[in-house]
Each structure stands twice: as C-alpha cells, then as structure tokens.
Amino acid sequence: MVFNRFRILLSTFIRRSNFFYLFLLPNCRALFLNKITFKKRLEIQQHTVCTGKGYVEIGYDCLFGYKIGGFNRRGSIEIQARYDNSRIKIGDNVKTNNNIFLLAANYIEIGDNSLIGQNVTVMDHEAHGIEPHNRNQLGEIGKVIIGLNVWIGNNVVILKNSEIGDNSIVATGAVVSGKFPPNVIIGGVPAKILKSI
Ligand SMILES: CC(C)(COP(=O)(O)OP(=O)(O)OC[C@H]1O[C@@H](n2cnc3c(N)ncnc32)[C@H](O)[C@@H]1OP(=O)(O)O)[C@@H](O)C(=O)NCCC(=O)NCCS
C-alpha cells in the first residue's frame, strides 16, 4: 500500500520532470553525449528505448506508442542508430502505434505528420552479407526516406534504399523495397503501387 503510493508519487514526479526522458531513453551512451535531441511535447505511451551509439533527432509533438492500440503492455519501441555516425531523424508530429523497430546503420528519415502502425520495422541495411561466406558481415548499407504525411499500416517492413513519397500510404502487411512516388497506395510483397490517391 505504502509502496504503491510511493510508486505513484514517483512516477508522477518522473512524468513531470526531465527525468521522464532519462527513464525512457536508457542504457544509451548517445544520451550522455548529446546525440539524442528531442523537441517539446514528446508523448510516450509504450516503453521506448534508444539503444544505439549514433544520433537520434525527434521533432515536436511526437507520440510513441498507443495505450489502446493493441499489444501495448508487453512490447516496446526501439530506436537504434547503431554506430557512432548512424542517424535517425524523426520529424514533427510523427505518431506511432506499438512495437516499432527503427534500425539505422546509416540514415533513416521519417517526415513530419507521418503515422506508423503497429509491428513496423524499418532498416537501412541488410545486417548480413548476401554471399554465403559473408553472412556474418554487415552487408550492404543504404538509407530509408519516408516522406511527409505518410501513413504506414500495421505489420509493414521497410528495407534499405526505400523511399516513400509524401502523402502515400503503405498498406498493411507490405514489404517495401524501392522508391515510390507521392500520393499513392502501395502494398504487397514486394510492395507495388495499388492505386493513386
Ligand atoms: C490500403 C488500405 C488503406 C485500403 O485503401 P482503399 O483505398 O480502401 O483500397 P481498397 O480496399 O479499395 O483496395 C485497393 C486495391 O488494393 C488491394 N489491397 C488493399 N489492401 C491491401 C494490402 N494490405 N495488401 C495488398 N493489397 C491490398 C485491394 O485488394 C484492391 O485490389 P484490387 O483493385 O485488385 O481489387 C487498407 O487496405 C490498409 O492497408 N489499411 C491499413 C490499416 C492499418 O494498418 N491501420 C493502422 C492502424 S494504426
């Protein structure tokens, strides 16, 4: 009982102070090297961690996780700019559902006002080599650019060198590899243009 009260008080204190962010962006050398920047009014509704050594920029009014979005309680959001010079740039007013994994060896950009559904993975490299003798090497490294006001549905994977144009929608379940123009709906495995908006 007393412990519970203490816990509630402590969490209120944490939420109202900058400590909030320290709790939510833990085990990260980058945090202490000022490599993570976030502007005002960041709201976090699911456990969120930045785990890499690189740079993470988070814009104004972003929301990570959604309490009533499903799969909220046991999952987490992970933003990993893996190496010293890796960079993840998240624009203003970007909102994500639960269980997101952003993994950059080089560069991932998510444009302002974009919406990201649950169980979405974005990675800018292969993590393993293609040739049989290279499987334990990093493989090809590229980048991923997600435009402004893009809506990414649930259970989408976005692979290296993908670009999604402004206002486009990625239908649920898509595996995206390639460049797509603005104002289209893409979907399928591999993703193709389904229609224009
Ligand atoms: C893309 C989407 C928005 C539907 O848009 P829509 O304009 O109503 O599109 P339609 O249902 O008319 O479908 C257009 C075509 O795309 C196809 N299509 C729709 N969704 C698809 C998908 N996920 N994968 C593959 N093809 C799909 C349809 O079969 C149809 O094909 P056809 O023209 O050959 O019949 C919807 O399918 C979707 O994926 N929503 C995302 C939901 C979600 O994940 N929300 C996140 C909550 S956080």
| Residue-level pLDDT at 12 | 47
| Residue-level pLDDT at 18 | 42
Average pLDDT for residues 68-94, to the nearest whole number?
94
Flag whether pLDDT at 10 surpasses 90: no
Which protein residue has the closest C-alpha to ligand 1 atom 47? 117
pLDDT higher for 56 or 10?
Answer: 56
DSSP class per residue in 94-155: -EE-SSEEEEESSEEEE-TT-EE-SSEEEESB-SS-SSGGGTTS---B-EEEE-TT-EE-SS
Flag whether pLDDT at 195 surpasses 90: yes
Quote the tokens at residue 2.
């007393």
Site to substitute for ligand 1 among 64, 184, 185, 186, most atoms within 8 A of C-beta: 185
Question: Could you report the per-residue pLDDT of 23-70, keeping only the tens digit for each?
Answer: 455 445 555 556 777 777 888 899 888 888 899 999 999 999 999 999
C-beta of 119 in contact with ligand 1 (< 6 A): no
Average pLDDT for residues 79-101, to the nearest whole number?
96
Mark residue 70 as left, alpha or beta (left: phi above 0; alpha: psi -120 to 50; beta: remaining): left
Positive/negative CA dihedral, 14, 19, 21, 24: negative
Torsions phi, psi for 132 (to 5 deg)? -55, -40
- What are the distances in angstroms from CA 169 to CA 23, 72, 89, 128, 182? 33, 23, 20, 29, 9
Flag whether pLDDT at 133 surpasses 70: yes
Instruction: Give the span between the Cα atoms of 179 and 195, in whole angstroms.
Output: 15
Kindly list the catalytic residues: 128
Does the pTM of the predicted model rise above 0.85?
yes
Q: How confident is the model at residue 15 (pLDDT cuts 50, 70, 90)?
A: very low
C-beta of 98 in contact with ligand 1 (< 6 A): no
